């Protein structure tokens, strides 16, 4: 028998959508640090669930903050997932991974071409070689009011105008590609569509259990073959015009039947709310709204931590 007890599993932190609110991100990070023992924080696995840009005013500052984390906290491991907003930003500035079969990005337009005029897709320089989501992101939507959010649109259907402005250019300007620093383009290029982590402990009413964890921005579909979904996510298959696992709603809300009862945590952001049901976690309290906090969850304890503001700071599930 070993003379040393086994090392405790690393703390896992999952951070919800940030959407350009760098002050909230700084506040959340401070609150996470205060909530954890120093050694647990210093060695944590930190999984950011995607959607770093749009809606809030400081996308550039958010990405600078995230890029600085490995140097500030070298004992941590940082995972940056791709959200639907990040995929669209990457598409517009030309850093989306190319389709694996060599097909052009214009092949992604056909399925949604009936929306082109209404959504005001981007038609500036370079649009011919752009993924459909990049064209939607950099476009100019005709409607001014977003009935789902009860707020005006900010430039495009993605609310991308604040992202353009954070880099010092007008919404829809092709100059954004030159204005975004190379290290930010690398960040966008390298975002993963799924993260899979083994041996994650989680506290339950029956005691602590060890699980696999799957982190994906929106979730996994119940009706599509799980292996096909995992293939698309692991290979970042950009032939897909709209990746449901990054942008779906009700279709990705629940855990796929292939994973139920298999001690698999599925954690996402995207949905603009907190939802915890067994091993399914949706952590997106902010939703890109100015008056709502950014939330994170800590495993194994399932402690919820929020950016400090009118919505409070911490609570225990």
Note whether residue 250 is domain-resident: yes
Q: Indicate whether 194 belongs to any domain.
A: yes
Residue among 19, 58, 85, 270 flagged as catalytic: 85
Task: Specify the residue for token string 């060695």.
Answer: 43
Three-class SS of residue 299? strand
End-to-end CA distance of the chain: 37
Q: In whole angstroms, how large is the CA radius of gyration of the chain?
A: 19
Report the domain count for the chain.
1
Q: Examine residue 315 and state whether it is found in any structural domain, yes or no.
A: no
CA neighbor of 176 nearest in space, from 151, 153, 149, 156: 156
187 part of a folded domain = yes
The pLDDT, as a whole number, for residue 260 is 82
In degrees rounded to 5, what are phi and psi of residue 119?
Answer: -85, -10
Contact, 18 vs 24, CB < 8 A?
Answer: yes
| Nearest alpha-carbon partner for 190 in 72, 86, 270, 68 | 86
Query: Which CATH number is 195's domain given?
Result: 3.60.21.10
pLDDT per position as a tens digit, 173-185: 999 999 999 999 9
Which tokens is 55 given? 């809606």
Domain hosting residue 277, numbered range: 12-306
Instruction: Name the 3-class secondary structure at 85.
Output: helix
Q: What is the pLDDT of residue 278?
A: 94
> Would 260 be classed as within a structural domain?
yes
Listed residue (158, 113, 106) closest to 130, CA to CA: 106
User: Does 311 fall in a domain?
Assistant: no
Looking at residue 79, what is its pLDDT?
Answer: 98
The dihedral through the CA atoms of 55, 106, 246, 296 has a sign that is negative
Does the active-site annotation cover 271?
no
Going residue by residue through the chain (317 aa), what tens digit of pLDDT does each one get? 555 666 667 899 999 999 999 999 999 999 999 999 999 999 999 999 999 999 999 999 999 999 999 999 999 999 999 999 999 999 999 999 999 999 999 999 999 999 999 999 999 999 999 999 999 999 999 988 988 888 899 999 999 999 999 999 999 999 999 999 999 999 999 999 999 999 999 999 999 999 999 999 999 998 889 999 999 999 999 999 999 999 999 999 999 989 988 999 999 999 999 999 999 999 999 889 999 999 999 999 999 999 997 433 444 44
Phi, psi of 304, rounded to the nearest 5 degrees: -95, 130
- Classify residue 2: in a domain, yes or no: no
The DSSP string of 2-61 is: -SSPPPPPPPEEEE---TT-HHHHHHHHHHHHHHS-HHHHHT-EEEE-S--SSSSS-HHH
pLDDT, tens only, 79-111: 999 999 999 999 999 999 999 999 999 999 999
In a domain, 173, yes or no: yes
Residue 64 structure tokens:
């600078």
Asked if 286 and 294 touch (Cβ cutoff 8 Å), the reply is yes
């Amino acid at each position: 028998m070993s003379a040393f007890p086994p090392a405790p599993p690393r703390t896992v932190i999952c951070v919800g959508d940030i959407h350009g609110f760098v002050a909230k991100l700084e506040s959340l990070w401070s609150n996470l640090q205060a909530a954890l023992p120093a050694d647990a924080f210093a060695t944590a696995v930190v999984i950011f669930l995607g959607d770093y840009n749009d809606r809030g005013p400081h996308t550039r500052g958010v990405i600078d903050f995230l890029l600085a984390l490995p140097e500030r906290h070298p004992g941590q491991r940082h995972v940056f997932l791709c959200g639907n907003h990040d995929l669209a930003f990457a598409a517009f500035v030309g850093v989306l991974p190319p389709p694996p079969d060599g097909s052009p990005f214009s092949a992604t337009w056909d399925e949604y071409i009936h929306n082109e005029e209404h959504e005001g897709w981007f038609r500036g320089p370079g649009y011919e070689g752009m993924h459909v989501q990049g064209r939607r992101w950099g476009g100019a939507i005709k409607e001014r009011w977003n009935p789902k959010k009860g707020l005006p649109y900010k430039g495009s259907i993605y609310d991308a105008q604040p992202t353009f402005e954070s880099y010092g250019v007008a919404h829809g300007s092709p100059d954004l590609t030159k204005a975004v620093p190379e290290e930010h383009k690398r960040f966008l290029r390298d975002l993963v569509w799924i993260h899979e982590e083994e041996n994650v402990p989680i506290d339950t009413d029956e005691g602590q259990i060890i699980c696999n964890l799957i982190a994906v921005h929106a979730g996994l579909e119940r009706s599509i073959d799980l292996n096909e979904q995992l293939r698309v996510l692991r290979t970042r298959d950009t032939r897909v015009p709209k990746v449901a696992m990054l942008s779906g709603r009700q279709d990705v809300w629940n855990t796929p039947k292939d994973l139920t009862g298999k001690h698999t945590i599925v954690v996402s952001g995207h949905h603009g709310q907190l939802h915890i049901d067994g091993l399914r976690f949706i952590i997106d309290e902010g939703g890109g709204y100015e008056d709502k906090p950014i939330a994170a969850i800590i495993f194994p304890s399932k402690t919820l931590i929020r950016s400090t503001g009118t919505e409070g700071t911490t609570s225990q599930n």
